[in-house]
Amino acid sequence: MTRSERAMQVWQILVGVAHNRQTLTYGQVAEHLEFEGAGVLAQILNCIMCYCQAKGLPPLTCLVVNQTTGLPGTGLTTVQNLPTDREAVYKQNWFALYPAQISDFEPYA
C-alpha cells in the first residue's frame, strides 16, 4: 500500500476521533492499521499535516499523541498552541467537507 493510501486510512480514523473529541496514541493508530510498531507513522501523518495546512484546516494530526507525554511528536510543526489547535480540530465539521481522496495526499507523500 502506498503512503498516500495509508494517509487516507489514517485520515478516516482521525476524522472519527475528532468527531468524538478524542485523541489516540501512536500505538493505537498503528494497531488500527495492524502495523508492528508506531515508528512508520511519521511520514503518513506528515501527508495529513501538509494537506490540512494547504487547505487551511485545523491540524488533524494533533490528535495523535505520545503515550507517555500525551503530546504530538516534535515534527508536528503546524501546532502553535496545542489546546487551541485541538479545540479547533474538534469544532471543525469534518463530515461536511468534500471527502478527501487518496490523490489529495500524493503531493505530500
What CATH class has 3-92?
Answer: mainly alpha
pLDDT, tens digit, 9 for 90 and up, residues 56-87: 999 999 999 999 998 898 777 677 789 999 99
Residue 50: pLDDT band with limits 50, 70, 90:
very high
Show me where the domains of the chain are located.
3-92
Per-residue pLDDT, 77 = 67
pTM for this model (two decimals): 0.92
CA 22 to chain centre: 12
What are 11-34's pLDDT values in tens digits? 999 999 999 999 999 999 999 999
